[in-house]
Amino acid sequence: MFSSRTPGLSSLNKTQRASIAGVAAAGIAAITFSLVPGGSTPANAAEAKPAAAAPAALKATAGSEQASAVHAIIAKQQVTAENAAKIQQAATKAKAEKAAKVTSQAKTERTQVNTASRSDDRKPVYANNLDGWIRESLDIMKKHGIPGSYEGLHRNIMRESSGNPNAINLWDINAQNGIPSKGLLQVIPPTFKAYHVPGTSTNIYDPVANITAAANYAADRYGSMDNVNSAY
């Protein structure tokens, strides 16, 4: 007789039972996945990945832009600081140069004053004798470009007056004409007046004034007192 029952699992072999169990498990998994809220098929999951990555990319881009802005601000501040430093350095340098110039000018002025003072201090003091008179006369002659030497002046003085500043000739032709020769180099008054050297006494008997006037006359007539060896 034939039975109407479906053959039981017990009648299946081992391989058949394993296949059935695998199919059942796959079905259950599919059903479970579809029931989970927000669930999706594998295909949908793959499509969702780029969407999830997009916010991260936007966040990275925003962070990069913010960093660039910060760097720009820092760079601008650095340039501003450098410019300020350069301006300060220039101002400091200008101030130092001005101070150095003022110091240099003051030093120059002090040097000039000190030099003038030392020059005044070193003003020659001449002896009140024939040697001193000749030396003072030579210094004055040098200032006025009048030629002559110590030897030439001394030689003619000794011949004319023997070194006496008050000597006067009362016997030569000049004396006979009423204009006697006077002083160390026996100069007549008209000649003394004509060849008087500025800065010296107008007294014909003054030793220095007499020597320089006579030397000035001799330079004009003979080239120098050094060329005079007799009455002139």
- Please write the tens of the pLDDT for every residue from 142-153: 999 999 999 999
pLDDT digits (tens, 9 = 90+) for 60-77: 666 788 888 888 888 888
Q: Of the candidates 185, 136, 182, 135, which has an alpha carbon nearest to the alpha carbon of residue 163?
A: 185
pLDDT of residue 120: 57
CA distance 33 to 44: 13
Evaluate whether 169 touches 179 at the Cβ level (below 8 Å).
no
Query: Which is nearest to 191 in space by CA: 225, 214, 160?
Result: 214
| For residues 220-226, average pLDDT | 96
- Of 50 and 198, the structure prediction assigns the larger pLDDT to 198
pTM higher than 0.75: no
Contact by Cβ (8 Å): 180, 164: no
Q: What is the mean pLDDT of residues 43-66?
A: 56
Residues 149, 135 contacting (CB under 8 angstroms): no
Model confidence at 4, pLDDT cuts 50, 70, 90, reads very low
- List Cβ neighbours of 45 (8 Å cut-off, separation of 6 or more): none
**Whether pLDDT at 47 is above 90:** no
Domains of the chain with CATH codes: 130-227 (1.10.530.10)
